[in-house]
Structure 1
């Protein structure tokens, strides 16, 4: 491994990617990512290879344990032996799957990219939005807008039969139409496939949400897929296998692109959910009967205090009080 990777191993990254890591291991990965841009670069491309290859693993006839040994021989400076594969690892499905997938896509190529970051950087671009919203145009003319704290990795030149990218966090996509090259987004273990459309993707450790603004989007997880059209969405929880189509009832997902919160009969609880995201706040509705109150108004880039005061005035018959307890804000 390269020197900047000495405190991280690929086994732990695989566990993190498939949701098998413990809370402590996830914190370890998060700290490692925050430590060095080179670590984030490595992780983004490791994740891209992993997610592009999931669909191939099910068709493979590769012996899993032999595959893992061969992959280790290529990824490490020294040769690996069968001792590299411990009995515990042989029993773990996620590790056997990792071996198969990485061999299928070409462990030699993976090793080359991992050990040659300068060359790899010339082929791929990775964007970290950090504390601001970032907008970028891709090589095919597609436009992506990243919400804060999102990571986006894509080839600097799309080749082959698809346009494949990876995403962590939230982003809005306006995809240039190209029937010969479907645009494919990998996030968590969900695959989103489009030809040309606009839609919002939001991923976290617990769920993946896709909202379609225009066109048609295919959302797949494992062997289950659905098609979403305008004003439709799906929210796939971590432990769910099958995406379920739902109606999208508001436009609040657009807040980071438009700096506007449009409420049209929106339940107060939904508005508070978005306020917590947009302002990194901790707002709690103390009384359940307030959560379903519908609000009809538009907030145009106002401060959080201004919005909360307007909420209080809007529902003055309920005498909503705003209380601050440290970092927490309570509406009651």
Structure 2
């Protein structure tokens, strides 16, 4: 190569290795400014120099002569053309010739300390979240009923198609569970830790009492109190109930009712009717026994009945009703029919 005939290869090597004196650097930069070809040529040498394996950056003194000889050998093997491709020409126009900046490597002890700090933080966050969100458990029914004992000693009896979600352990100020469906709660008294049920946007809060909650999607939430006191609230609406009282939660209000003990018949299998319309009697039996009972006409819907059933089979219960009101009972598949001419 003749383009650097007026400048020594050793000087170029010292320039690339950043070991040249100030006067030598001025000489090289004057040579670079003499022509664009000189700048392209040095840029090509620099690319090869930077990729030469023998030129690892270290704190030891650089042997520029040996490095230059190795670089020339590398150039001979590659047979780099004197005329560079257009892509390299464009790249060399933006190359800035400045001394290489060595990066300081952090000591291994610093990296180790950083990793330990990260692990400690991660484990601390994990345990913190574990304490805030204890593991949940769930019990669900389909075509059956079941009883579940909660960690605090509270007993819950679930009706058909119901789901109860509760924590593995009750931590904190509240004992909170979630209900979808229907269940009877016999809550273990604990004045310092109120028992809270979340059911379709309604909150039922108690200290220690027994009551029934019906919270299916297709109907308003209903609460019937057997013993003690219960607070029912939704949004800004709130009502407190005692034994014998009931409430139905509507969209924008809470309506107070008289408790219906037959609402709990699915658990007790006890039904007591006092001058009740046959339509209401059939509704209670239908919900309690989970059977399909229908009236053949509207005339008999207003027939009144005063009677009590305690743990009787559904066939026997319906037969007694039919005989008492002088009605006919028949079964078609899984459907029970009550038929007659009405009541006098």
Normalising by structure 1, we get a TM-score of: 0.58
2:283 aligns with one of 261, 264, 273: 273
Aligned to 1:4: none
CA distance in 1, matches of 2:175, 2:225: 19
Helix, strand or coil for the counterpart of 1:130? Answer: coil
Aligned to 2:253: 242
Rg comparison, structure with higher value: 2
Equivalent residues in 2 for 1:38-53 (5 A)? Answer: none
Q: Deviations over 1:190-232 (max 9, x none)?
A: 1111111110001111221100111111111111111111111
Aligned to 1:201: 213
Structure 1: 5+ residue stretches without partners: 1-107, 114-119
CA distance in 2, matches of 1:303, 1:286: 22
Contact 2:278–2:305 under 8 Å retained in 1:
yes
Aligned to 2:228: 215
1:298 aligns with 2:308: yes
Q: Deviations over 1:42-80 (max 9, x none)?
A: xxxxxxxxxxxxxxxxxxxxxxxxxxxxxxxxxxxxxxx
Aligned to 1:287: 297
CA distance in 1, matches of 2:336, 2:142: 25
Aligned to 1:149: 161
Helix, strand or coil for the counterpart of 1:305? Answer: helix
1:322 aligns with 2:292: no
Compute the displacement of 1:285 (Å). Answer: 2.2
Equivalent residues in 2 for 1:55-134 (5 A)? Answer: 123-134=135-146
CA distance in 2, matches of 1:175, 1:281: 29
1:313 aligns with 2:326: no
Contact 2:263–2:288 under 8 Å retained in 1:
no
The aligned length equals 210
1:137 aligns with one of 114, 124, 149: 149
Q: Using CA pairs below 8 Å that are at least 6 residues apart, which structure has the higher relative contact order?
A: 1
Helix, strand or coil for the counterpart of 1:169? Answer: strand
CA distance in 1, matches of 2:249, 2:254: 6
CA distance in 1, matches of 2:297, 2:337: 10
With 258-267 and 149-158 compared, the bigger mean Cα shift is at 258-267
Equivalent residues in 2 for 1:173-212 (5 A)? Answer: 173-205=185-217, 206-212=219-225
Compute the displacement of 1:234 (Å). Answer: 1.1
Structure 2: 5+ residue stretches without partners: 1-124, 340-344
Normalising by structure 2, we get a TM-score of: 0.56
